[in-house]
Structure 1
């Protein structure tokens, strides 16, 4: 993996620690928090118990309600996901662009990987998969750990 002159990674490649932490966040009682913004800049924030490491450079979650967060993501795909576990003193901010998948293979793949407790809250499976293609990961102090050069 290449690094820039500052020693940071110039690609996103989630560490195994990050993947395990996000994938177990609900079980560990520290669900991830999703921050969105409406087209006119009004912020929105909410817990996402279904958050998962989708691949080495993306997170994903199951959007079952299609309320404000989904509306915001459709209008403004720039999001931030916060993971924080006070017991392990581990925390990251994941920045990226959200893609909503209402049908197809990606939707099915995410749905099949969602933790059962969250999927049970959508018994008719009317939700959609949201994949967040990451472009930056920061520590809680704002140190850039990984970023994609644009």
Structure 2
């Protein structure tokens, strides 16, 4: 689905402004973004999760499905300094890793493992919190799991 076919939500409007800036100033970043997915494709992949993600996650992945997993010395494929936008498939795989690490901590409860990653840099993530019910929006958090 092209961005022009998406509803003009504040998220999509902001992402389109960022994309226009990249096309002018950092074309490698703009070119690294993969085409968006259909809502059905997103829903099918998200069925594996034990929680619902906010509507904005659907919009995000309809807009673009992450950036290519390529790296160069100029850091030109980074969505934000140090962070790469994960494809939906990568995000689901990273979620499974985060969840497993959290569950190894005896103080973490099952309902505290709903952190869904959108951007990654090594073991650092920007995550959004899922919930049992779908919401329109949710805050994004900086997540770093430390093995202390």
- Assess same fold via TM > 0.5: no
Q: Structure 1 length normalisation: TM-score?
A: 0.25
Structure (1 or 2) with the greater strand fraction: 1
Q: Which has the higher contact order (CA 8 A, sep 6+)?
A: 1
Structure (1 or 2) with the greater helix fraction: 2
